[in-house]
Structure 1
């Protein structure tokens, strides 16, 4: 069973960073970076990673290989723009919370900035996902897994999955 939250319910006060590991997820963080796993904890539940429900309005869906898909969308569409703004706030709040490391001027909000380009990549377990049959609003889960820190910068690590 998965527990998910909505982006508008995300509260950075519930985010806690675990001690750093090196190259914990080498495909998702810069080489030689430290990775701090995020735990999202309330009095009732703790989540790791944090799964957030996202409802995007796609314009094009392309299958690549091994259940990998790219989803293109109009970043200026009101629904999509609202999601990008919510995520930018969450990403900024998380990296600002990490500023204790002394890397204040080296923070990166790469993920939210990438969303403004209008494309995400996602995994899906089916060859022809029925959820992708139309270009209407599609539901995804955004998993926020942690914060990475290299010698020169830091940011959050996350991925999308089809819900």
Structure 2
């Protein structure tokens, strides 16, 4: 089972290395990872996906909560949340096929962000299934390059605010 976890961490050098090192040393694989500054520049939010049963998830969460620079960890699995991935992809454009690619981009609600004689670069965001479906739809045209972000997610309704001073407790 896949679990989406979100950790509010102090925005300090080495935090990502400590967390990924801790997970790797205990044999946990990170399927997806995204890190970025929050509304409060003293904090970053890490959203990552790990695979395993509830026992594995409980171990991961407990290990994360032991790291001093982590303020709070939430498991989004089983809770109402919104999650998205972002992808940039370069697709070959042979003569006369550009309009087919443009139609696919519109169907998947993407955007063409760069055009050259030989390819188009497309930006697309959405749930993982949508990204995967788009990749398969454009594969016959020829994918030149592809890059994806890790998953990002937020809970519906409640929040894990970063609107506090570093080191202060955060309430849900």
TM-score, normalising length from structure 1? 0.28
Question: Which of structures 1 and 2 has the bigger CA Rg?
Answer: 2
What TM-score does the superposition give when structure 2 sets the normalisation length? Answer: 0.27
